[in-house]
A and B are shown apart, each in its own frame.
Chain A
């Protein structure tokens, strides 16, 4: 495997912004850089949209139960270069056997390894894709409306975006090994805007893992977007591993569009953050398409994990299946608001949605709003939400065998998350993420 480390120059030369240089009050620099002119004009427009849309308010249904103070982003400023890029590259260790790896740090691509990619596959910075594959880029880059509440923040993302990953897999090309994309943030009160755009053509197949990591224990902001477009009969496994620092605020906005017989499986793991807002919007556009939406959320400390999901069935005979598991310790809070919508034409839909809250502390709080809107007939839709505590019998069994209470609880939590991992249907991913989970749970 050849290892080529490249330190790309920042797309725009900027000094580290002073703290007064707020990302919400100071317009971004729309001149020059490596983006094409037309995109800069779009960014200008997005900035204006950002300014026009009001802050979320208490009575806004998409923000019900949310801690709105966390949505005031005025204290964050633009990120400069990182202190030691090489150190971050060295820390970007995930899969040993990967097809390709990109490392971004404070929105600069600092490392790219792509030796194992089949020919014809494009894996490049977004700005390059915008220049060289304008049609493809325009068709797929943030092309759907942000419907789950964060339109304002998606506009901010679009206005301030500097780079990101673009993956295009041509017709019938299968990439067996995972593609890993690392997004590092470094600096107190800085903001980054990570972006991953994946386009699979007909019959293509890929595994993409986004890793979101803080370089240090700092307060930072990430407004991350990923667009996943699945062509006919294509297959995608996507995993977002979020390990921001415990002080971080992050928005993770995900859109998945699945064409006829396409098959998408997406898993979000949330390990870090102070306030994490996740929005996952799945469009089942083609007949027989399938979208599996999974999430694993060990919530500790004062963390708030606020997740909104949408399973929108536009075509007949499609399947969507959502499973979110939250384990709530300390004073953590979770919010789950999910909607299954079966549009008029989407007959014979199979849609499932399940959220389970495991309450580990008296101070924790779980809010669940599983929703259904069914406009077609002959559908099978169910949803469920449960909140409960550790199973006494299981706990007793382990204590009787000399396992200390804390570890016994962790083992039960690990099992609780394991059932979600199994749904990936991918033993290698399952093992890799399972080991990560063990480390996180100190097992």
Chain B
């Protein structure tokens, strides 16, 4: 039986489609050259080593070719000369909500950070454009010795911890966009959790882009010391602009012996954003790094969270949901590098393509020579809603030697006509039935998100599915 669906795709992005006039106190202008980098370093008062790091990143950015031999040609539409690389409020990160300017507060209200939510959120690091405009760390977290600051403050105030790991998990020359980020990074978070400290509440940051043609290059470094545990949540929405915006973050996680880091992302940039992100975690002995990643927005997202399992018994996990609507390309995946015995990794990826949307999974699993007891499990499931939708799967799996077990499985399917018919029989509209079916498809993964995120996710999926069925 054929699923006859000829949906009209009309994604309602109005929820993120608002904008306030900002007085950009610091603006590096358009385009990138060495003077731009000096300007950023001057404004931010960078130490010399950071300035040198930026220059090195810039050199590598120029050197590195666009990865279009494997990636989409859409990357060629990025005009680097038309992008603003630095823009900030020129404000210090605020400690209390009262100090935050009213117009920024208004933006956050519309973003839907409810007042009462703050009560049980351990800390809110709200990133407004590239500078942290607001930061509130609950006393309890501070007392435990947890450092939760903007990356700019982190490198100034805690150089001894910061420098040790900064740029170590993801070298600036890792790829063209990590090099670009290294050259112009601003904003992002720095978190250090001392040995044995288990942060009960997730730490959270909201990111927003709020200027035309303005690239956001945040840089996040999270270190969980021996036996520590922390969950970090990153969610973003961006207002709609006339021309494409570039977002290119670098996120480095370091889990020391026995530590656990969970990094949760809900990405909902507007559909003109290029979201080219490098995320990688380093897991030492018995440590665990888990990426929970949900991509709903953007024009093109290229993001392959990775885990390097460096110590014995380390564990890496990527749970990924991608929703590619009309005109969107979600090019996501995972990288698992096994570098010690008895390391295990798990990748679960589910994608939904609707309208002319395209979802791509790219994976890399690497088990080098002379390792024993390594295990990887990869599952990719794709759901195609319309006849113009597209889905691709491109895994690359290298295994050397015996004594390891690696398995990869992928499937592509539709919502069955029978399912829809069944639900319609019971009085649901076709759209509601589709929405329910899609939610059912991703349900087991959505449940892995913290409660408030899973509620938001379900709402976002419903919104995306609205009007997707004619």
Contacts and interface: CB of A to CB of B under 8 A. Distances in A.
Interface string B387-424: 10111111111111111111111111110000000000
B384 interface: yes
A378 B382 CA distance: 12
A65 interface: yes
Contact of B394 (A360, A369, A388): A369
A374 B403 CA distance: 34
16 contacts: A61-B69, A61-B70, A359-B401, A363-B401, A365-B399, A366-B400, A369-B394, A371-B395, A372-B392, A375-B390, A376-B387, A377-B3, A377-B384, A380-B412, A382-B409, A382-B411
A364 interface: yes
B446 interface: no
A347 B387 contact: yes
Interface of B: 2-3, 5, 69-70, 367, 369-370, 382, 384-387, 389-414
Given A371-B392, A377-B385, A360 B402 contact: yes
B405 A374 contact: no
Nearest to B360: A373
A378 B396 CA distance: 26
B9 to A, nearest CB: 14
B382 A374 contact: yes
The SS class assigned to the B binding surface is strand
A387 B409 contact: no
A361 interface: yes
A367 B396 contact: yes
Interface residues of A, number: 41
B372 to A, nearest CB: 9
Query: By CB atoms of chain B within 10 A, which of A363, A372, A375, A377 has the most?
Result: A377
Contacts of A370: 393, 395, 408, 410
A52 interface: no
B397 A385 contact: yes
Contacts of B399: 357, 359, 365-367, 387
Contact of B406 (A61, A373, A383, A386): A386
A299 B385 CA distance: 42
Nearest to A367: B398
A172 interface: no
A365 B366 CA distance: 11
Nearest to B406: A387
A67 to B, nearest CB: 14
A2 interface: no
A362 B369 CA distance: 7
Contact of A359 (B3, B389, B402, B408): B402
B126 to A, nearest CB: 40
A384 B413 contact: no
A348 B2 contact: yes
A133 interface: no
A368 interface: yes
Contacts of A386: 405-408
A368 B412 contact: no
A383 B398 CA distance: 16
Which of A60, A378, A379, A384: most chain B CB closer than 10 A? A378
A130 to B, nearest CB: 38
Contacts of B370: 362
Nearest to A370: B395
A432 interface: no
Given A376-B387, A379-B412, A380-B412, A362 B402 contact: yes
